[in-house]
Amino acid sequence: MSADSPPINLTHHFLIAMPGLNDENFNRSVVYLCEHSERGALGLVINKPSDLDMQALFHKVDLRLSREDLAHQPVLQGGPVHTERGFVLHETMRATPEADEPPVVKEDDAEADDAPAPTEADQGVYASTLTIPGGLEMTTSRDVLEALSNGAGPRKVLISLGYSAWGQGQLESEIAENSWLTVGADPQVIFDTPIEQRYERALSLLGLQAWMLSPDAGHA
């Protein structure tokens, strides 16, 4: 990339961990990037289940989950940052999605230096929503859980505890070191693919299978 080239933006992309990435938080992980800019990146691991299912999580926050289709869906380990907090990734709940708008973020809640953090979007249905170009949203406020508890809310939903964050230039360095493959995100992988198949399914978006990878392979 030349000095005059625009910076790469991997918002609404998957990061797919290469075999040489031995960090226990990210080994064989698929990360959905909710936000990426020159200040850093923020994402959710979408293929590492926690010990909780959604019914148990709702019980912990004193809500009754009436959505039977979600009751036994695992809560995921979204990353090592703020693991005590829940992050809800879901289909857009706007009447008129504005997919071309950049997400609105604030900088005072990230643990990685200069990394963006989840915050409120003033046009979302829920109180604290990050609008992601590509048609998805990430909500951190209780009102989305209350909607799900009442049988309403988004149809397509994933809940994680914690998120993943990279400071300025950190993700770009890791990609250059062949730690990650990158590919445009497919919501079907997030919401409709069994968790244990998401790594292989994300690889298939690049025409790859896991056996084709080596720790020294380049990134896409």
| CA separation for the pair 159, 86 (Å, rounded) | 7
Query: Is residue 22 domain-resident?
Result: yes
Query: Is residue 108 domain-resident?
Result: yes
CA distances, 126 to each of 3, 17, 42, 133 (Å):
40, 32, 20, 17
Query: Is residue 87 domain-resident?
Result: yes
Whichever domain contains 57, its CATH number is 3.40.1740.10
Specify the amino acid at residue 206. L
Burial class (CB in 10 A: 0-12, 13-18, 19+), 3: exposed
Query: Is residue 219 domain-resident?
Result: no
Query: Is residue 8 domain-resident?
Result: no
CB of 140 closer than 8 Å to CB of 110: no
**How many independent structural domains does the chain possess?**
1
Domain that holds residue 193: 13-212
pLDDT tens track, the chain, 220 positions: 445 556 789 999 999 999 989 899 999 999 999 999 999 999 999 999 999 999 999 999 999 998 999 999 999 999 999 999 999 999 998 644 443 444 444 334 444 445 555 444 434 678 889 999 988 999 999 999 999 999 999 999 999 999 999 999 999 999 999 999 999 999 999 999 999 999 999 999 999 999 998 766 444 4
Q: Enter the tokens of residue 35.
A: 């936000």
List helix spans (H) across 137-182: 142-149, 170-176
Please give the model's pTM, rounded to 2 decimal places: 0.83
Say how far residue 105 (Cα) sits from the centre of its chain. Answer: 15
> Look-up: residue for tokens 């990353």?
79
Write out the H or E segment, with its range, that includes residue 201.
helix 198-204
